[in-house]
Amino acid sequence: MNIISEKSKGLRGSVTIPSDKSISHRSAMFAALTGGVCEIENYSLGADCISTLNIIKELGAQVDFIGEKHLKINAVDVFKKDRYKLDCGNSGTSMRLFSGIMASREAESTLFGDESLSKRPMKRVILPLELMGAKFKHNDYKAPLIIQGGELFPIDYKTPMASAQVKSCILLAGLNTAGETKVTEPYVSRDHTERMLKYLDADIVTDGNVTKIRKSKLTPKNLKVCGDISSAAFFMVAGAVVPDSDIIIQNVGLNPTRTGILEIMLRMGADIEILDKRLECNEEVGDIRVKTSELKAVTIEGAVIPRLIDELPVIAVLATQAEGTTIVKDAQDLRNKESDRIKCLVTELRKIGVDIEETQDGFAIEGKQNLKGAAEVECYHDHRLAMSLYVAGLICEKPVCINEFQWVDISFPEFLPLMQAVSVKLN
C-alpha cells in the first residue's frame, strides 16, 4: 500500500495512542509464566504483539478476548510438551525474550520468523545463554534458532551495550534458574521487565544499572497496559513542527527509562506540558500536551541513547526544524533494527531535501530547513521509518509518496486514521 503525506496547516484536538508494545509483549509472556489466570487490559493489537499471543497459545495457554483489547489468559497447561515450534513473525522482542524463557525449560524449541526477522542478529542473546549452559543451533547467529532447554547455571553478566531485550532475556532465564543471576549494563536501558516482574512478586532487585534475580514463582495478577510513548513520539514531533498545532496525547507511559524523547524535546525548547500524571501497575502514566515550538539544535549521545533508540528516526525530522546542527552519536545499534536505520533514514530524508550527514554511529542534521518533498520514498519494511517519513511529509512543500506503508501495521495499525483525524489539511 502506497500512501501520500502532504502539508498540514495544524494539528488540533486530542488523540489516544495505542497500547505500549513493549509492555504488551511482557504482560502476555509473564501471564503465561504465572501458571494461573490473568486479565490484561488495553493489550496492543499490533502484529508483533499478536505473534507473542500466538506463541503462548502454542506453549499451552488459553487466550480469550473478552473485549476489543481486553484479554483473559489461562496458563494452567503451559510447558507440558517436550518440543515446540514458535513463530515470532517480525518480532525481535518475541524471539529474544522467548529465547531466555525457553532456554531454562526441559524442551526443544525452534524459534523462527519472517524473512526480515531471519536477517537480524541474535548473537547478543545466544552468547550469555550459552554461558548459562543453554545449547543452541543457529544460522550464523540468526534465526531459525533451535534451543535444547534444560537446567541452567546463574551468571554475572556485563552486557557490551545497554539493551532491554538482552537484559530481559537473561533475567527471564534467571527467573527459572537456581541461584542469583546478575546483569550489569553500561547504561540503564528500559526497565519494563524489572517493574512487571517485581509487580508479579519475583525475587528481583535493581540498583542503578545492576539487576539481580533469583528463581521465583510469579503471582497471577491482572495487568493494565498504558499507551506507547514510542507511538506518541510521532504525534509529539508533529505537534512541535507543524505550524499552528496544539494537541493532547492521552494515557502515555512515562517510565523514566523511556522518556528520552521527552527530555530531548524539552532541551530543544519544545512547548510540552504533562497533565494528570499517575501510577498504574508500577508504571508512570500521563497526558502530554504539545504546541508548535521554536526549537534549537542539541547533541544527543551517551546514556540517553538507549532511552530513545526507537524514536531517533522521528527525532531526525524534529531536528530539521531546529536552529543549528543536531548531532546524534553512540547510536550504532540503529543499524541492527528492522533495517539499517541510519543508512536508510539518511537516504530517504535526502530525497525530500533534508541536509543530513551519515556517520558510523549516527547522523548530523542542519536546521532550520524548508523541506521540498515532491518525492517517492521507501520504508524498507521498517514501520518506524515509514511513520517518520509521514511526519516529515506534513511539513514538506510538496506531497511525499511513501511506498509499502502497510508495514506500519507491525506496531501502529491505527497511525494513519489517528493522524488524519487531528491534521487540518490546506484544502
What local confidence, expressed as pLDDT, does residue 46 receive? 82
What pLDDT, on the 0 to 100 scale, is given for residue 425? 65
Overall average pLDDT of the 64-73 stretch: 95
**All three cell numbers of 353:** 531535501
Of 165, 186, 217, the residue that ends a domain is 217
Give residue 333's pLDDT: 83
Based on the domain organization, do 203 and 231 belong to the same domain?
Answer: no
pLDDT tens figures, 381-411: 899 999 999 999 999 999 999 999 998 987 7
How far is it, in rounded angstroms, from Cα 165 to Cα 155? 17
Average pLDDT over residues 66-86: 96
C-alpha span between 18 and 408 (Å, rounded): 13
β-sheet with 204-207: strand ranges across: 156-158, 180-184, 210-214, 204-207
Both 74 and 54 in one domain: the answer is yes
b/e map 28-45, b = 16+ CB within 10 Å: bbbbbbbbbebbbbbbbb
Instruction: Indicate whether 62 and 146 sit together in one domain.
Output: yes
The 3-state secondary structure of 195-230, one letter per residue? HHHHHCCCCEEEECCEEEEECCCCCCCCEECCECHH
Q: How many domains does the chain have?
A: 2
Are residues 183 and 294 part of one domain?
A: no
Residues 360 and 241 in one domain: yes
Q: Are residues 307 and 205 in the same domain?
A: no
Q: Is the separation of the CB atoms in 97 and 29 below 8 Å? A: yes
- Which H/E stretch holds residue 162? none
pLDDT, averaged across the chain: 94
Q: Which of 20, 287, 310, 330 is catalytic?
A: 310
Q: How many CA atoms lie within 13 A of 165 on its CB side?
A: 23
Integer Cα distance of 219 and 200 in angstroms: 5
* Dist CA 325 CA 379 (whole Å): 25
Tell me, yes or no, whether 402 and 265 share the same domain: yes
DSSP 8-class letter at 18? P
Same domain, 162 and 245: no
- pLDDT tens digits along 294-337: 999 999 999 898 888 889 999 999 999 999 999 999 998 888 77
The count of other CB atoms within 10 Å of the CB of residue 90 is 24
What integer is the mean pLDDT of 231-250?
97
Question: What 8-state DSSP symbol labels residue 19?
Answer: B
Q: Is 333 a catalytic residue?
A: no
What pTM was computed for the model?
A: 0.81
Contact 109, 149 (CB under 8 A): yes
The CATH code of the domain that includes 334 is 3.65.10.10
The four Cα atoms 194, 198, 202, 208 give a dihedral, to 10 degrees, of 50
Question: In one letter, which amino acid is 173?
Answer: A
Give the domain-ending residue among 217, 241, 260: 217
**Percent of the chain predicted with pLDDT > 70:** 99
**Domain final residue pick, 174, 199, 217:** 217
Same domain? 199 vs 234:
no
How confident is the model over 78-98, as pLDDT tens digits? 999 999 999 999 999 999 999
Contact 223/196 with Cβ under 8 angstroms?
yes
Note the pLDDT tens digit of each residue in 330-388.
998 888 776 688 999 999 999 999 999 999 999 999 989 999 999 999 999 899 999 99
Closest CA to 370 of 233, 240, 241, 236: 241
Whether the pLDDT of residue 424 is over 80: the answer is no
Residue 335: CB atoms within 10 A of its CB come to: 15
Residue type present at position 255: N
**What is the reported pLDDT for 285?**
96
User: Residue 426 pLDDT more than 60?
Assistant: no
| Residue 202 and residue 294 in one domain | no
Domain ranges, residue 381: 3-19+226-425
pLDDT tens, 131-147? 999 999 999 999 999 99
Cell of 407: 508495514
Q: Which residues contact 223 (CB under 8 A, 6 or more apart)?
A: 27, 31, 38, 39, 40, 41, 196, 199, 281
- What is the b/e burial string over 163-175, where b = at least 16 CB atoms within 10 angstroms of the residue's CB? bbbbbbbbbbbbb
Tens digit of each residue's pLDDT (9 = 90 or more) over 181-217: 999 999 888 899 999 999 999 999 999 999 999 999 9
Return the pLDDT at 345: 93
Residue 235 and residue 206 share a domain: no
236 plus 147 within the same structural domain: no
Distance CA 242, CA 238 (A): 6
Alpha-helical regions (H) of 74-201: 92-103, 123-131, 164-174, 192-199
